Amino acid sequence: MRINESNVNDVLGKDVHGADGRKIGEVCQLFLDAVTGAPEWVTVKTGIVGTKESFVPIAQAQLEGDFLTVPYDEELVKGAPTLNVDTDHLSKDEEAELYRHYGLDYFDGDSDQDGDLQRGGVDAAAVTVDSPDRTPRR
């Protein structure tokens, strides 16, 4: 099942499996598109002690029971650009860098007179896992 606005809470805390079926890590945060509100990125805790969080696009991800499957391997996810996961927003430059890393086309839309992005950019205003019992917060 694809990730959408109605099942975003089901994604948090799930194990993430790569294209080869192997576990990569665990979903920690979900980032929404600033304009559409559609889920766009998750951060995945990786490593033996889960000390690193990597951004992973979820446009092609599938929620399959107890885990989320992404079409990327562990090395690609772990090699994602290091960005501040404690922010509530990705700049369009950060987002473009992530898209390039995953080999995806990036469309940032048009800018208004002030140069502010009208489409694109991502907010983390959705939910994150912040307790051991994986209770999501908004």
Dig out the tokens for 126 from the structure: 């959705």
pTM of the complete model: 0.78
Answer for the pair 77, 25: CB distance below 8 angstroms, yes or no: yes
pLDDT of residue 5: 84
54 phi/psi in degrees, rounded to 5? -115, 140
The SS3 call for residue 31 is strand
Closest CA to 66 of 137, 7, 15, 29: 15
pLDDT tens digit at each of 138 positions of the chain: 888 888 888 999 999 999 999 999 999 999 888 888 889 999 999 877 667 899 999 999 999 989 999 999 999 999 999 888 777 788 889 999 999 999 998 876 654 443 333 334 454 444 444 433 333 333
Answer for the pair 84, 54: CB distance below 8 angstroms, yes or no: no
Measured distance CA(116)–CA(56) in Å, rounded: 24
Question: What distances in angstroms separate CA 131 from CA 32, 69, 97, one per listed residue?
Answer: 21, 23, 30
